[in-house]
Structure 1
Amino acid sequence: MGVIHVTDRSGQRHTLEAIEGWRVMEIIRDWGLPIEGLCGGACECATCHVFVAEEWIPRIYPPTEEEEDQLDTVVTQPTSRLSCQILWTSELDGLEVTLAPTGS
């Protein structure tokens, strides 16, 4: 096990225990933070949009074309990702993400 650090929409930082092989969206949701993930992780809705801390971008595999297509439907930043498409591994221990504003 390890942790991810999540900054919620009000700016509060949370440190959450993470489990190997779980999607970052699932970890955030299961700890009770407000992330929708309406499609359940199928990369079809972009309601699990997060901003990954810049220093973590090189450690995460690049988005697929399918993920990029979904990100095109929301207001993004250069570090935008869908948290349902990031599988947590021990190499991501300490990962930092911020929940994107609702509707973006």
Structure 2
Amino acid sequence: MLVRFIDPEGREHVVEGEVGESAMRCATRALIPGVIGECGGAMACATCHCYAAPPAGATLPEPAPQERDMIDGCIDTRPTSRLTCQVVLEPALAGITFTVPASQV
């Protein structure tokens, strides 16, 4: 499935993601600038913060309380802020776009 990342410089990266993997793993595998995933997906660092825009008709579940707490500590948050380590890729999300905030670099 294709996943789109917009890096802090505004460059678009279209990456092949695997169903069941986290968006963070997809981004780090593709070396997307600004998505570091320092904690390896343990939701302990927020270095994978992005703005998520699901494709038309698809929705992401609300962030769990622990994810919400981590997002609250991020800079430049928006209502669409997510930790990409907590977004599991599934067929309905094919074409999802993640924008990496400038504050991530």
Give the TM-score, by structure 2 length.
0.89
1:102 Cα deviation from its structure 2 partner = 3.4
Instruction: Report which stretch shifted further, 53-62 or 90-99.
Output: 53-62
User: Is it true that 1:8 corresponds to 2:39 in the alignment?
Assistant: no
Match of 1:48 in 2: 48
- Asked if the contact 2:58–2:92 (Cα under 8 Å) also holds between the matched residues in 1, the reply is no
Give the count of matched residue pairs: 103
Q: Give the partner amino acid of 2:13.
A: H
Match of 1:17 in 2: 16
Mapping 1:1-104, distance limit 5 Å: 2-34=1-33, 35-53=35-53, 59-75=59-75, 76-103=77-104
Structure 2 CA distance for partners of 1:57 and 1:69, relative to 1, 3 Å = farther
Report the aligned-residue RMSD. Answer: 1.9
Task: Tell me the distance in 2 between the aligned counterparts of 1:54 and 1:96.
Answer: 6
1:55 Cα deviation from its structure 2 partner = 6.0
Task: Tell me the distance in 1 between the aligned counterparts of 2:63 and 2:81.
Answer: 10
Task: Tell me the distance in 1 between the aligned counterparts of 2:83 and 2:3.
Answer: 15
- Asked if the contact 1:56–1:95 (Cα under 8 Å) also holds between the matched residues in 2, the reply is no
Of all paired residues, the percent bearing the same amino acid is: 32
Deviations, residues 42-67 of structure 1 (Å, cap 9, x unaligned): 11111100011276696111100000
1:5 Cα deviation from its structure 2 partner = 0.7
User: Which ranges of structure 2 fall in alignment gaps of 5 or more residues?
Assistant: none
- Asked if the contact 1:25–1:41 (Cα under 8 Å) also holds between the matched residues in 2, the reply is yes
- Asked if the contact 1:37–1:47 (Cα under 8 Å) also holds between the matched residues in 2, the reply is yes
